[in-house]
Amino acid sequence: MIRHIPMQKLFLKNNKGQVLPYFIVLTMILLISWAMMINIAKLVRDRMILQNSVDNTVLSVATLQARTLNVLGATNYLLATILSTASNPKVVMFPSLSTDKIAGSMIPGMFSDYKCLGKSNYSFTSRTGVQNLRKTVNAIEQIQNSIIAKYFTQYFQILKDIPAKDCSVIVVPSRFVTDLKNFKMPSFSTSAVLLGLKRNIKGITYYETKNYCMDLKSKHYHIVDSKQYAKDKYSWYVQTENFYDQKFIGYGIKLPSAKNNKGYPLFANLIGIKWPAVTAYAAAAVYNVDGAMFPDKESDKTGLDNVVAVGMLPIVAKQLKVFWDFTELVAKIPIAGIPAAAALVAGAAYYAYQTYNKIYDGLTDETTPVRLYKKSYNGGWDSHLVPIK
Amino acid sequence: MPFSKKEKPVFPPLLCRVIPCLTRNLLKIKIPVSSNHPILQSSNLSNSGQTLIEGLIVCMLVTALMFGLIQVCILVVNDMLYNEVSFSATRAVSVTKEKDIQIFSKKTVNKLLITSGLVSGLLFADIEQDGRNTDKEAKTTNWEGTILGENIVGHDGTNIKKYNVKINYKTRLMFYKLFGGNLFRQQSARARMIKSPDVEYYDKAYPDAKTFSKKQ
């Protein structure tokens, strides 16, 4: 006789927990789905945050570059404009417009060495004006150096502050990326290279002015000469050979070991996945729709602003009067007077012609720092995101 | 205490087995139904299989709940991924030199969708693009209107443009027939960005400059 044993007694003691295995399986599926959802959400969120971080950082660096170039362009213009007021004293006061010879200003004021003490038959050397001019130029150069130092520190401050937490972003000027072999990390003093700029090594030669005064036949005559006083090695900023490449490449990474990734991915061991490093790229560039603003070659030419040109006219007129007074004086000398007067008239014409040419060149030469700034300051340097390739 | 034979049944026979179980376990209410009930006796029903039916109903409810939650997961994940694609596409649109933004954005969206695995058929095979390769696939619009109530103009005097990439897509729903609903749920993802007004300076710094990529 076969003894009937209930199935219930054979396997289980009672009915409890029959749904439990099913419930556990479904719960596992649900939990893995949730974990996947949270993992994907975090990855997507991380990538978006990182992309925004790289965009923001690279654009911030480009904006810093644009602002620095604008300020440096303005100070370059100021420096060159002050130098453009300088004279080239050769009997009379010629406008210099060249850093090869910088004497006291053609415009009366604190930079001028064209001084007459009203004494008869008296000569004296004046260097107060050119000293003031040199001090001002050096002060502007110092301001430029401090602007670049600020740029250098701000550059790294941006890399530190702008990226989101746990995101590391580096931004490199594209000109260094394309020419890594020749890349040297600029020092604090040579950080203008980051901007694509360098100092003009043509230098500035300063001259003091010798004033000769004489009274002849109740008229006062004033002629000038010059003597080298000092020489400085550098002047304004000019472009380096790869200044045209004003693009920045930004690269960002969020490592799996980042603090914020602790505990992720959820159920890593169960699902068998590893958290990847999230990366993002971006590029930004600096541009000026009106021109480069900085000279592309090292040159001694300052260029000339219209206002400065107008400011020079009184002293140019004064020099012509000197010629006229001398002509009047020598014309009265018998026999030799007429040819001497004619020579003086020719000299006056030569002076007028030379001065006109200088001023005209200064106003029209578009390679000088003054004219380049005047041409491009309306557009100004600006920044925008650009394609990476 | 057994019921009297005169009492009428309150619930149909099957529910007589289920409801007391549910109410006892879930609501802690005891409804007195026993095997002496006239209906149960007359239909020769016994206690056997009671657990099976209880289990079946609980399983059905739990399954529905689980799949519902999984469906929500899928919808949310799709939403996130498509939003990411639209974000990336908008970013690409905002730095492109292409003149036909519509075509460029569609191409970019398609490329990104494939790289994201959304239309590759591998990761989420149950997603369909709305009218693939048609205009409805990824709609990109650009406005030349105001930004935050202001007319912002670029160097050339034209208004700065906002670009909007919108992706319309459909997610296939599970068990849609049970509910008599639609097979797909219409969803959309979008992102907006402002484009630089000076597109011609994407690869050079000033009018007469060499392009960025050109080496000395």
Q: Is B53 on the interface with A (CB under 8 A)?
A: no
Contact A186, A193 (CB under 8 A): yes
Residue A223: what are its φ and ψ, rounded to 5°? -125, 165
Chain A residues in contact with B94 by the CB 8 A cut-off are 385
B42 min Cα distance to partner chain A (Å): 26
pLDDT for A232 equals: 92
Per-residue model confidence as pLDDT tens digits over B41-55: 555 556 677 777 877
Contact between residue A57 and residue A163 where contact means Cβ atoms under 8 Å apart: yes
What pLDDT does residue A180 have?
A: 60
- With beta carbons under 8 A apart, name residues in chain A contacting B174: none
- Chain A nearest-CA distance from B39, in A, is 25
Chain B: give the shortest CA distance to residue A39, in Å.
10
The mean pLDDT value for B91-114 works out to: 80
Residues 183-212 of B with CB under 8 A from A: 196, 198, 201-210, 212
DSSP per residue, chain B: -PPPTTSPPSS-HHHHHHHHHHIIIII-------TT-HHHHHTT--STTHHHHHHHHHHHHHHHHHHHHHHHHHHHHHHHHHHHHHHHHHHHHHT---S-HHHHHHHHHHHHHHHHTSSSSSS-TTEEETTTTSTTSEEEEEE-S-BTTB--B-TTSPBPPEEEEEEEEEEEPTTHHHHT--SEEEEEEEEEEEPPS-GGGSS-SSTTPPPTT---
Rounded to 5°, angle at Cα A319 from A318 and A324: 95
Q: Which of B92-96, B130-134, B164-168 has maximum average pLDDT? A: B92-96
Q: How far apart are CA A127 and CA A107, in angstroms?
A: 15
Up-side HSE of residue A229: CA atoms within 13 Å toward CB? 23
B138-143 vs B127-129, strand pairing mode: unpaired
What pLDDT is recorded for position A144? 92
B62 in reach of chain A (CB within 8 A) = yes
- What whole-number distance in Å separates Cα of residue A307 and Cα of residue B67? 81
Q: Which of A240, A40, A14 is CA-nearest to residue B124?
A: A40
> To the nearest whole angstrom, how far is the Cα of A301 from the nearest Cα of chain B?
21
Model confidence at B133: pLDDT above 50: no
Please tell me the distance from the alpha carbon of residue B75 to that of residue B172, in angstroms, as a whole number: 9
Instruction: Decide if B70 and A242 are in contact by the 8 Å CB cutoff.
Output: no
Q: pLDDT-derived band of residue B115, with 50, 70 and 90 as boundaries?
A: confident
**Nearest-CA residue of chain B relative to A239?**
B209
Instruction: Please report the pLDDT score of residue A13 as a whole number.
Output: 60
Specify the range with the lowest mean pLDDT, choosing from A306-315, B65-74, B164-173. B164-173
CB-side exposure of B5: number of CA atoms within 13 Å?
2
- Closest residue of chain A to B49, computed from CA coordinates: A15
**Nearest-CB residue to A40 (from B80, B88, B205):** B80
What is the C-alpha to C-alpha distance for residues A223 and A225, in angstroms, rounded to an integer?
7
Q: Cα(A303)–Cα(A363) distance, rounded to whole angstroms?
A: 6
What are the φ and ψ backbone dihedral angles of A44, each rounded to 5 degrees? -60, -45
Contact: A41, B91; criterion CB under 8 Å:
no
Check: CB of residue A83 under 8 Å from CB of residue A188.
Answer: no
Instruction: Determine which of B201, B203, B204, B215 to mutate to test the interface with A (most A C-beta atoms within 10 Å).
Output: B201
Instruction: Select, from the ranges A42-51, A174-183, B92-101, B166-175, the one with the highest average predicted confidence (pLDDT).
Output: A42-51
Q: What is the mean pLDDT of residues B88-116?
A: 80
CA A69 to chain CA mean position, Å: 3
pTM over 0.90: no
pLDDT value at position B121? Answer: 37
CB–CB contact B80 A41 (8 Å): yes
Give the chain A residue whose CA is nearest to the CA of B208.
Answer: A291
Q: Inter-axis angle of helices B50-94 and B101-116, to 10 degrees?
A: 140
Residue A369: is the preceding peptide bond cis (ω within 30°)? no
- pLDDT value of position B27: 57
Is A292–B216 a contact, with Cβ atoms under 8 angstroms apart?
no
Helices then strands, each counted (H, E), chain A: 8, 12
Q: Give the one of B62, B96, B210 whose C-beta lies nearest to A26's C-beta.
A: B62
Q: How many whole angstroms separate alpha carbon A47 and alpha carbon B84? A: 9
CB contact under 8 A, B77 and A178: no
| Torsions phi, psi for B69 (to 5 deg) | -65, -40
Residue type, B165: V
**Which pLDDT belongs to residue A175?**
80
Option in B59, B203, B205 nearest A288 (CB)? B205
* End-to-end CA, chain B: 103
- Comparing A64-68, A202-206, B120-124, B150-154, the range with the smallest average pLDDT is B120-124
Measured between beta carbons, which residues in chain B are less than 8 angstroms from residue A15?
51
Please tell me what DSSP assigns to residue A272.
Answer: T
- CA separation for the pair A148, A153 (Å, rounded): 9
B66:A29 CB<8 A: yes
* B34 in A contact zone (CB under 8 Å): no
pLDDT tens, position by position, B2-39? 445 555 555 555 555 555 555 555 555 555 555 565 55
CA–CA gap between residue B82 and residue A40 (Å, rounded): 12
Interface residue B126 vs chain A (CB under 8 A): no
CA dihedral A388, B189, B133, B97 (to 10 degrees): -30
Sign of the four-CA dihedral A183, A185, A189, A194: positive
pLDDT of A77 reads 95
User: A287 and B206 in contact by Cβ < 8 A?
Assistant: yes
**Dist. CA A154–CA A71, nearest whole Å:** 15
Strands of the A278-287 sheet, one edge to the other: A168-173, A247-254, A278-287, A382-386
Ranges A125-139, A174-188, B62-76, B162-176: which has the least confidence? A174-188
* Residue-level pLDDT, tens digit, chain A, 389 residues: 455 555 555 555 666 666 677 778 878 887 888 888 888 888 888 988 999 999 999 999 999 999 999 999 999 999 999 999 999 998 888 999 999 999 999 998 889 888 877 667 778 888 899 999 999 999 999 999 999 989 989 999 999 999 998 899 999 888 877 666 666 666 655 677 788 898 998 889 999 999 888 877 777 788 889 999 899 998 999 998 888 989 999 999 999 888 888 888 888 877 778 888 899 999 999 999 999 999 998 999 999 999 999 999 998 998 888 888 888 888 888 888 888 889 989 989 999 999 999 999 999 998 999 999 999 988 889 999 998 87
Which of A242, A291, A384 faces B198 most closely, judged by CB atoms? A384
